Amino acid sequence: MHYTQLFRQLRETRHLSHEALARRARCHRNTVINVESGRPVKFGTLAGLMGKMGYAPESDEMRTLALLWLEAVSGTSFSQPGILAAARKQAAVYGRGAQLAARQLAEAVIAAGLTADQIRLLVFAARQPEVLTIVEAVRDLVESTAGDDSVPQLKVAEDK
Nearest Cα to Cα of residue 64 among 20, 12, 1: 1
In the chain, what are the domain boundaries? 3-74, 81-144
pLDDT of residue 155: 60
The C-alpha torsion from 103 through 104 and 105 to 110, rounded to 10°, is 90
pLDDT at 160 exceeding the cut of 60: no
Prediction pTM value: 0.55
pLDDT tens-digit map of 35-83: 999 898 999 999 999 999 999 999 999 999 998 998 898 888 877 778 7
| Per-residue 3-state assignment (H helix, E strand, C coil) for 63-92 | HHHHHHHHHHHHCCCCCCHHHHHHHHHHHH
> Which tops the pLDDT comparison, 59 or 137?
59
pLDDT tens-digit map of 94-104: 888 888 988 89
d(CA 107, CA 112): 9
pLDDT at 142 exceeding the cut of 60: yes
pLDDT at 148 exceeding the cut of 80: no
Say which CATH class 3-74 falls into: mainly alpha
pLDDT at 151 exceeding the cut of 60: no
